[in-house]
Amino acid sequence: MFTTTGSRGLYKAPLSKGLLLVLNGLTVMLTLLPQYQELFVYNLQAPCFFGLQVWRLLCGRLVCLDVKDSFCSSLLIYNFRIFERRFGSRKFASFLLGTWCLSALMDFLLAQAFQNLFDYEVEELPSGLLAPVFSLFVPFYLSIPRMPVTQVLGHIHITNKSLVYVVGLQLLTSSPFMWLLALSGLISGGLYHSDFLRLQKILFVPSWVSRAGRFILEPLFSSSQPTNETPLGMGATLDIQRQQRMDILDQQFLLAQYNEARRNARRNARHQPQSGLLQWTRLFPSLRHRGQNRPPMQPHPQAHTHQSTQQPLLDNSPVAEEQVARLVEMGFSRTDALEALRASNNDINMATNFLLQH
């Protein structure tokens, strides 16, 4: 939804779909039946291992009592479904299970540390599957590449991950002690993602549970495969769109390399001449402003004769007409395309990068 994870909805993400439907359904039911909300309060000071307090511990860390928290966490779960597609439902469930257990311990440790430092006892924390959701920001930050989208005020860069962080910040500021759950989730996610003390071998979903869920729960929450093609007149197929996004990323990567090479060339040109690096400005000036800053030429027979005899060597270089046509189709003039191809030795990628920069 926010990142470039495709437009396939919840296809191949049955666990994410089940979490969204079940947890949000329970939140709505508890909103309509407030007399049962006491069973789902996340209370750290209750004796959590006797009687119904175990139930309160489990449910208090699964179901949200605040609709706003449920909405924000649902948006994040929907966005993080990419990990279930990439690693499979079992590994995704193992990550949630491991971080859920680790964050339960971290909640008590952080609350105790806060009490010792500030002499304030933390009794209740926001309910819901919040710490594991915050823990998913760790693989999201480390694994999902940043893709620039636009700029605000010319300095603030907006990427494909910005809106996800905005939703996380909104969830973080929704209640006073949400920061404790966020810190607990980030620590737990970092420990589990780095396989600290081989936690991934200790806290995981057994294979028999995964098989049982595949036969029992997956038919209930699985989504049908979307069609590959959009309706006529609405654009290209999804495969072509994904390929176009990859082409844009490759072009941005090439442009970044070229800009870095130009900056290094300008920096080093102040000290010594460069050899082996293509100097665009020495081959020809700015193509798009050619002749605008030149003084008016007076008719002079000798100068004209000298100019006709001193043709650049680049004009004798053969140029493929097919590549010229491709550059002209992109919107460049034929003259600019010819000179860029001659200067780049018929390398259409380098010629395109130069024309885009000029």
Residue 325 lies in a domain: yes
Same domain, residue pair 27 and 165: yes
Residue 159 lies in a domain: yes
- Burial (CB count within 10 angstroms: exposed 0-12, middle 13-18, buried 19+), residue 185: buried
Specify the pLDDT at position 330.
Answer: 74
Same domain, residue pair 185 and 47: yes
Residue 246 lies in a domain: no
List of residues 6+ apart from 120 with CB closer than 8 A? 114
List of residues 6+ apart from 293 with CB closer than 8 A? none
Residue 239 lies in a domain: no
Specify the pLDDT at position 98.
Answer: 97
Same domain, residue pair 322 and 220: no
Same domain, residue pair 218 and 323: no
Residue 149 lies in a domain: yes
**CA of 208: how far to CAs of 19, 83, 85, 104, 212, in Å?**
20, 21, 20, 25, 6
Same domain, residue pair 191 and 326: no
Specify the pLDDT at position 14.
Answer: 93
Q: Tell me the average pLDDT across 100-121.
A: 94
Residue 61 lies in a domain: yes
In this structure, the dihedral spanned by the alpha carbons of residues 268, 270, 275 and 276, taken in order and rounded to 10 degrees, is 40
Specify the pLDDT at position 353.
Answer: 73
Domain boundary (170, 192, 224) is at 224
Same domain, residue pair 345 and 215: no
CATH of the domain at 333: 1.10.8.10
Residue 285 lies in a domain: no
Instruction: Give the residue numbers spanning the domain of 74.
Output: 14-224
Same domain, residue pair 86 and 215: yes
CB-hemisphere CA count at 13 Å for 83? 26
Domain boundary (224, 246, 276) is at 224
Looking at the predicted structure, is the pLDDT value of residue 135 above 60? yes
Tens-place pLDDT, residues 208-255: 999 998 888 888 888 877 664 444 334 445 555 555 565 565 566 556
Tens-place pLDDT, residues 71-97: 999 999 999 999 998 888 999 999 999
- How many other C-beta atoms are found inside a 10 Å radius of the C-beta of residue 79? 22
Q: How many domains does the chain have?
A: 2
Domain boundary (224, 253, 282) is at 224
Residue 263 lies in a domain: no
